[in-house]
Chains A and B, each alone.
Chain A
Amino acid sequence: MFIDWFTLIAQIVNFLILIWLLKKFLYGPILEAIDEREKKISGQLIEARAEAEASMKARNEFILKREELEARRESMLQKALDEAENRRRQLLDEARAEADSLRVRLNDALEKERGELRREIVAAVRREVFETARRALADLADDALEERMTQIFIKRLRALGEKEKSAASAMMERSAGAAMVRSAFELSASRRSEIESLFGEVFSLGAKLSFETSPGLICGIELTAGGYRFVWSVSDYLGALEKSVEDFLSVKKDAVAKIDEAVS
């Protein structure tokens, strides 16, 4: 055979030495490095997984918080809008109320002013009308007219009803004062005696009549005794006219107020 025994033994020894050398310089360090690296990588993987979980958790928390904030913001915005709306309505109501009160005051003032003006106009017109009438009647007054007025006075005194006569008599008795006849013009003596006799006849009283001239009566004659007063004069007519004018004006005023109300 080709076996050299020394070589064979030496090669066994060499091989064992080589095993030891390679274990020391090759397999040992290399396997150790690989193990270490795998350990490190798996550690890093675990760390990365933990970090990923933590970041996912943080992300979820952040999303939750953001949603909460969003909701809160929405509700605050809604509240602010509601408050603003309420405030707007309140201000509008206040403004409307103020405008209403101002309008009422304005209307009142206008009404007052209109009333004043109307009254002034009415008074002025009335004054003017009566003054004109008085002046016309005074100008017209002459003996014939005075005579005619006296006749009318006598006629009307004669035409008094029983009821009125007795009431007048009672009043005159109670006062027991003197009776007086006032006229706008000087009565003639015959007319005076005629009135005196008629007075006694009508009221069945023996009182003495006195006579007086008063231009303010305007074409009229007046009999006063105690609390009783019997008169005929143009002034009375004018007074009646004035009253009817007043009534007419008040009716008219009510109508205007109604129209205003309807319009507003």
Chain B
Amino acid sequence: MRISPDEVVIWHGGFVTVNMTLVTTWLLMAAMAIAARLITRGVSKGVHVSRWQSGLEIIVLALKDVISGVGLSRPDAYIGFIGTLFLFIAVSNLATVLPFYEPPTGSYSTTAALSLCVFFAVPFFGIRELGLYGYLKTFVQPTFLMLPFHVISQITRTLALATRLFGNIMSGSMVLALLISIAPLVFPIAVIALGLLTGIVQAYIFTILATVFIAAATHEE
């Protein structure tokens, strides 16, 4: 039984291996970019707005609300990173309703990549907001003794992020695969529905945790 879509190799040449994860990711990226482009091409700046634009505005404003709700005072500066995290994870999870689709978030390589992005984004935004000294100072708050715990937490929370998302999505896919082999009618639908919920919840959890980490790094104590 396959655990990850990484195992489905489509093209292989030396170090380069084009597997199902990458292909699916590219397709999702293309779909998202094209959809966004199509909708925002005729973007209306007036009072009358198309339904699609309205939907996008709702999503973007909700993301802004989440970011500012966590404590980041300038949500526009973070929405690129945090919003894309949420949208990519959410879309790739929601797409599980499509037949023969395997979510890239079910690949540990993908979730690790996203976690690494968060891992690097935290010092990036922290230094941008507080400066290098200000950011490094957060590691010795409230006392110097806390430094090892801060360093450990940076690494462990990154691992936790990656593993949590991978575990949830991968397990959902596996349960679905098992169910289809045992009871191919009716039951898989309930599991898919549950999977949709889990997928959105996981996207939210991943995003909110990333936001909290960034907020913690950009706030001077």
Contacts and interface: CB of A to CB of B under 8 A. Distances in A.
Nearest to A17: B29
B15 interface: yes
B45 A36 contact: yes
A30 interface: yes
Contacts of B112: 3, 8
Contacts of B19: 4, 7
A259 to B, nearest CB: 104
Nearest to B110: A11
B83 interface: yes
Interface residues of A, number: 34
B25 interface: yes
A15 B83 CA distance: 12
B61 interface: yes
A19 interface: yes
B29 A18 contact: yes
Given A27-B79, A36-B45, A40-B45, A22 B84 contact: yes
A32 B79 CA distance: 13
Contact of B47 (A1, A5, A41): A41
B114 interface: yes
Nearest to B117: A15
A12 B110 CA distance: 8
Interface in B1-27: 3-4, 6, 15-17, 19, 21-22, 25-26
A25 B60 CA distance: 12
A260 B137 CA distance: 134
B88 A1 contact: no
A18 B32 contact: yes
A15 B84 contact: yes
Interface in B168-205: none
B81 A7 contact: no
A5 B17 CA distance: 10
B150 to A, nearest CB: 24
B65 interface: no
Given A6-B17, A32-B45, A34-B60, 14 more contacts: A2-B107, A2-B108, A2-B109, A4-B19, A4-B107, A14-B22, A18-B33, A19-B84, A22-B80, A25-B40, A31-B60, A37-B45, A37-B46, A40-B47
Interface of A: 1-12, 14-19, 21-23, 25-27, 29-34, 36-37, 40-41
4 cross-chain pairs, A with B, having the tightest CB-CB distances, nearest first:
A11-B113, A7-B109, A29-B40, A25-B36
